[in-house]
Amino acid sequence: MTVRANKKNQAKRAAHFPIRTAIHCGPEIEDDCQTGETENISGSEVLFVRDLLTVNKALVLKFPLPTEIGSEAGAIMLCCGHIVRTILPPVSDLPAPMAAQFNDYQLTLRGSTEAEKSK
C-alpha cells in the first residue's frame, strides 16, 4: 500500500534560523519583564526558552537580531505576539521551549532612530 501526501494541502513552514540570543518578554516590555534565550527565529515566530507561559498568552517580546548568524546585533526587534505552542522538555528540571507568533513588530536598526514597522 502506498500513502501519498497531498502537497497542496500541506502548509509550508517558514525558514527558521538557529539564532541564540537573549529575549526579554512579558505583558509589557518595561513592567514585569523576564529574560529567556531564543533557539530559533523565523519571519513569523520565535522559539525561546524561559519560565513556561500558557498557550494564547499575549506578550511583548524584545530581542536583538544579528546581521549574520554569529555576529553582533544589527537591529532590535520589538514584537507583540502570543504563545502558539509549548514543547515538553526531555527532563522535568529543564525549562520548556515555547513558540510565540508575531502579531505586530517594530524593527530598529542599530545606530538608527527610525523604526521599520510591519502589519
pLDDT tens by residue, the chain, 119 residues: 444 444 444 466 778 899 999 999 988 766 667 899 999 999 999 999 998 889 999 999 999 988 776 667 789 999 999 999 999 887 878 888 999 999 999 989 877 655 555 54
Domains of the chain, residue spans: 22-118
29 contacts 78 by C-beta, under 8 angstroms: yes
Instruction: Please give the backbone phi and psi of residue 34, each rounded to the nearest 5 degrees, phi first.
Output: -120, 155
- Sign of torsion, CA 10 97 58 54? positive
80 contacts 67 by C-beta, under 8 angstroms: no
Kindly report the CATH number that applies to the domain delimited by 22-118.
Answer: 2.40.10
**Single pTM value for the model:** 0.77
Q: How many C-beta atoms surround the C-beta of residue 1 within 10 A?
A: 2
